[in-house]
Amino acid sequence: MPNNPRPTIKKSNLRLLTPDTRFNIDYSWWDEGHLDLRTYLLSRLSVGSEFGAELPAERIDLVDSKTGEVRQVDAFQYLVRNYFNRHDEDPAAQGSVVDAVFSVLLANGNEPMTAAEIGERIQRAPDIILKTFGGATIYHGIRPLFDED
């Protein structure tokens, strides 16, 4: 028998992804990678051209249409969300699954969405979303959420 036993994999490290698995953009991924989401959005998605040179850096008050609750949100994120909601482009035509999912999550205010919901919005099978975003590589900070997260 070999002296080195086979490594054991803890069950807590194995997570089953299903079409009901929720995903969102982990903004800390951008910070940890020393990447600037604002710069990326301004250069890649032409968000800045619509708002002019003066982009808000402060927070604004937003009224929740369901509850009537007033909360402060980042003004830039609010503008980006409105940009994606106003430009009713077909997310599936964005070229890549990563860009399409990123756009859908931004348009949804980065509220967690299931792979099935995202798949419906981008007209792709949920399995493609699970394979793309369920592995070790993180694209644009998009990660699965689990109950304990």
- pLDDT, tens digit, 9 for 90 and up, residues 29-56: 988 888 888 888 877 666 555 555 555 5
29 forms beta bridges with none
pLDDT higher than 60, residue 147: yes
72-81: average pLDDT: 76
C-alpha distances (whole Å) from 36 to each of 1, 29, 39, 141, 149 are 52, 10, 5, 12, 24
Q: Is 9 helix (H, G, I), strand (E, B) or coil?
A: coil
Instruction: Tell me which of 146 and 144 has the higher pLDDT.
Output: 144
What percent of the chain stands above pLDDT 90?
29
Hunting for tokens 């708002």 — which residue is that?
A: 51
The structure tokens listed for 17 are 């992804």
User: Quick count: other Cβ atoms within 10 Å of Cβ 106?
Assistant: 21
Residue ranges per structural domain of the chain: 18-145
pLDDT higher than 90, residue 129: yes
Q: Is the dihedral of CA 77, 78, 81, 87 positive or negative?
A: negative
pTM more than 0.85: no
